[in-house]
Amino acid sequence: MALKNINPTQTNAWKNLSAHFEGIKGTHLRTLFTDNPNRKEDYTINFNDFSIDLSKNRIDDTTLKNLVSLAEETELKDAISQYFGGEEINETEGRAVLHTALRNQSKIPVLVDGVDVMPEVNKTLQKIQDFTNEVVSGNWKGYTNKSITDVVNIGIGGSDLGPDMVVDALKYYKNHLNVHFVSNIDGDHVQEIIKNLNTETTLFVIVSKTFTTQETITNASTIRKWFLESANEDAIRKHFVAVSTNLKSVQEFGVDSNNIFTMWNWVGGRFSLWSTVGLSISLAVGFDNFNQLLKGAHEMDNHFKDTAFDKNIPVLLALIGIWYNNFFESETEVILPYSQYLNKLSAYLQQAIMESNGKSVDRNGDKIDYQTGSIVWGSAGTNAQHAFMQLVHQGTKLIPADFIGFKNSLYGNQEHHEKLMANFYAQSQAMAEGKMKEEVVADPKLLPFKVFDGNKPSNTILIKNLTPLNLGSLITMYEHKIFVQGVIWNIFSYDQFGVELGKELAHKIYTAK
Ligand code: F6P
């Protein structure tokens, strides 16, 4: 089986959406709210600790109906069953896309080429758990018989961004281990990390699916050399572990075979934090919390798989994203988590979204004449308000926003939290409502500058608490949004050939020097 090959712009739904767009594009969000006093309730979806308010979007029931028809006409249902069913939907690389199997906490088998992968997945999880317990408890000793105090994750892209973002996001749950991340091939990066570390108490986790990535191998070799200045070869097995599919190269690097954590080619780098790539997460917060993260992901997987499209969170977010991208011609989306813990979320999503859907050739191999993946950016509110929100409110571009907030703060500082959340609600309200000429009190000369047109769309994602479980669901929500958009745009979301040319040229330039 393969994903169907349907040009979305040739569907009836697309034609209906185009006609409908002409009618609704001039309608202000203020009017939509006045016309339906229950709009907020009508357009809010609840799921576990999540409440997703879609009411501040430039949509009505007809928009949603047409968007859902677009999903149906592009055979999204069939695509979802191929995705979860282990079909080779990463056709250009000849692979299944099964990060969902990594958090499959049901007893249902997941077949790849007729073989259930779950026994291997569970065995590997057990290995992560055992290793985590050894290191966290202090039983794992370094070459001078001291326990580990620091962990360095050496990786880049999907072997860095996910774990780094999650370790930061779950800082509240962390144990005594200090986890550091080295990614850039800039030698100053690695130097800044190792300069304060003690070889006797540091564990290095080399994470590279391919084990050929220049940045990671260079950083790992530099660290190995630095390590051997104070320890001997035999000490390596107590301080270096590796996560990879390329077992041969890992062994050649000198990592002890017991210290190799395998992964599978059906896990894409940017969706791999649920796998052994998440080892540094498990070390930072303990295996139970890591497992909660997986559980949250699994719950969102079930919601996505089993819920009708008109109530399905990732499906609706994807469709609304397409509505702005392809009809309103917005080019970017801003991610605004109102939590300092999620400061790295947009950097993580940049890879997940842009490496997946930044494609301009369809599943036929033909050049596409419509827009695909949008540009993603953002940072934590309220800092963003004092940086780029001016452009969002009064600039010339339409930038849909995702506001992500939590009902409760982790340390319970009420005064701060109430102020934070007042800002969270104020920003989406200001974007939606704006401030009309008649409402502005100002010197007439300044009046035009103080008007806010409003009608700027946003999603409000309100979550009870920042827990490992809810974080797992949140990340998964975006993973499936990516999938849905890729299916509808008729592109292959799970390859990344666009990163290769730069790598090749860098190699040529470097070797010619
Ligand atoms: O940037 C390209 C890429 O292949 C990403 O998709 C991947 O996450 C990253 O490089 C790292 O790859 P690896 O884990 O094989 O070192």
Ligand 1, closest atom to CA 155?
Answer: 16
Q: Would you tell me how many other CB atoms lie within 10 Å of the CB of residue 199?
A: 19
> How far is the C-alpha of 304 from the C-alpha of 366, rounded, in Å?
30
**Ligand 1 center–CA 53 separation, angstroms:** 34
Kindly name the residue from 15, 25, 416, 503 that is annotated as catalytic: 503
**Ligand 1 center–CA 219 separation, angstroms:** 15
Query: Mutate which of 97, 156, 212 to test ligand 1's pocket (most atoms within 8 Å of Cβ)?
Result: 156
Query: Mutate which of 93, 181, 206, 210 to test ligand 1's pocket (most atoms within 8 Å of Cβ)?
Result: 210
Kindly name the residue from 195, 225, 248, 386 that is annotated as catalytic: 386
Mean pLDDT, the chain, integer: 97
Encode pLDDT of 347-362 as tens digits: 999 999 999 999 999 9
For the Cβ of 363 lying below 6 angstroms from any atom of ligand 1, the answer is no
**Ligand 1 center–CA 183 separation, angstroms:** 11
User: Where do the domains of the chain lie, and which CATH numbers do they carry?
Assistant: 8-97+307-498 (3.40.50.10490), 112-288 (3.40.50.10490)
Q: Are 338 and 380 in contact (CB under 8 A)?
A: yes
**Ligand 1 center–CA 476 separation, angstroms:** 20
Residue by residue, pLDDT tens for the chain (513 residues) are 899 999 999 999 999 999 999 999 999 999 999 999 999 999 999 999 999 999 999 999 999 999 999 999 999 999 999 999 999 999 999 999 999 999 999 999 999 999 999 999 999 999 999 999 999 999 999 999 999 999 999 999 999 999 999 999 999 999 999 999 999 999 999 999 999 999 999 999 999 999 999 999 999 999 999 999 999 999 999 999 999 999 999 999 999 999 999 999 999 999 999 999 999 999 999 999 999 999 999 999 999 999 999 999 999 999 999 999 999 999 999 999 999 999 999 999 999 999 999 999 999 999 999 999 999 999 999 999 999 999 999 999 999 999 999 999 999 999 999 999 999 999 999 999 999 999 998 888 999 999 999 999 999 999 999 999 999 999 999 999 999 999 999 999 999 999 999 999 999 999 997
- Where helices occur in 229-263 by DSSP H, the ranges are 236-239, 247-253
> How far is the C-alpha of 80 from the C-alpha of 92, rounded, in Å?
18
**Ligand 1 center–CA 242 separation, angstroms:** 15
> What pLDDT score does 442 carry?
84
> How far is the C-alpha of 230 from the C-alpha of 409, rounded, in Å?
44
Residue 386 falls in the annotated catalytic set: yes
- Where helices occur in 279-312 by DSSP H, the ranges are 279-285, 287-306
Closest residue by CA, ligand 1 atom 3: 157
For the Cβ of 472 lying below 6 angstroms from any atom of ligand 1, the answer is no
Query: Mutate which of 153, 185, 275, 499 to test ligand 1's pocket (most atoms within 8 Å of Cβ)?
Result: 499
Closest CA to 151 of 358, 162, 163: 163
- Dihedral of CA 129/265/353/81: which sign? negative
Q: Are 158 and 351 in contact (CB under 8 A)?
A: yes
The partner residues of 259 in beta bridges, in order of sequence, read none
For the Cβ of 203 lying below 6 angstroms from any atom of ligand 1, the answer is no
Residue 20 falls in the annotated catalytic set: no
The partner residues of 181 in beta bridges, in order of sequence, read 153
> CA dist 452 to 422, 433, 458, 510, Å?
19, 8, 16, 51
For the Cβ of 216 lying below 6 angstroms from any atom of ligand 1, the answer is yes
Q: Is the bond into 216 cis (omega within 30 degrees of 0)? A: no
Residue 355 falls in the annotated catalytic set: yes
For the Cβ of 312 lying below 6 angstroms from any atom of ligand 1, the answer is no
End-to-end Cα distance, the chain: 48
**Ligand 1 center–CA 496 separation, angstroms:** 9
The four Cα atoms 113, 117, 119, 123 give a dihedral, to 10 degrees, of: 140
Q: Are 247 and 262 in contact (CB under 8 A)?
A: yes
Q: pTM of the predicted model, to two decimals?
A: 0.98
Q: Are 201 and 149 in contact (CB under 8 A)?
A: yes
Encode pLDDT of 136-176 as tens digits: 999 999 999 999 999 999 999 999 999 999 999 999 999 99
